[in-house]
Amino acid sequence: MSENATLRRGRPGYDQQGILDVAVAAFNQFGYDATSMGVLAERLGLSKSAIYHHFASKDEILDRALDAALSALEGVVDETDASGGRAADRLDRVLRGAVHVLVDQLPYVTLLLRVRGNTEVERRALERRRAFDKRVTALVADAQAEGSLRTDIDASVVSRLAFGMINSIVEWYRPGGRENADRLADDVVAIALDGLRMPTSNRVEELLG
């Protein structure tokens, strides 16, 4: 076994990912600022030096956690862009993919949504969130331009409303309930997009006119 693999395994019971999961849960419960390395060490049953064996600082733990959530969301848009097709269909896939990311990484996305920009790590995360929002807004605008969505609502408003609804899921969703990720995604798309879709007759008239 390599030296790096040995370091990553660390103390029995916790690898790097395990420490990260416990830290994210603590950040969500107490708030990032109020969660000291001492609190994390107590929760993990490790010494602080054992945590530092894996992470140089609390900021690094936060950075890794926020990157996990952001990379997953960015990956949804990247994959959708690469797949091509009508903008409306790609928007549908982005919304569904975002719901799946939220369900699959609920604690990490919850932490991301609570970031307020109090540290450099948080400010970088907020900048990435803004870039993600701009990509979704551009996709909404493309769907409007192709005649798939109504144009009387600004694209940025559509994007904010859709993701406001998706983001609110962190406040009430509990794994193991009646709604799995697929059903939840269906519900979100129905509420977010059905009222925005152009009737077929109107789309034909708009394209011909």
- For the structural domain made of 59-208, what CATH number should be given? 1.10.357.10
pLDDT tens-digit map of 70-110: 999 999 999 999 999 999 999 999 999 999 999 999 999 99
CA gap 83, 15 in Å, rounded: 35
Question: What would the pLDDT profile of 164-184 be if each residue is shown by its tens digit?
Answer: 999 999 999 988 878 889 999
Task: Sort residue 85 into left (φ over 0), alpha (ψ -120 to 50) or beta.
Answer: left
Q: Pinpoint the residues of the chain covered by CATH 1.10.357.10.
A: 59-208
**Ranges for all domains in the chain classified under CATH 1.10.10.60:** 3-55
Is residue 200 pLDDT above 90, yes or no?
no
Find out if CATH 2.30.110.10 is the number for domain 3-55: no
- Write down the pTM of the prediction: 0.85
Per-residue pLDDT tens for 29-52? 999 999 999 999 999 999 999 999
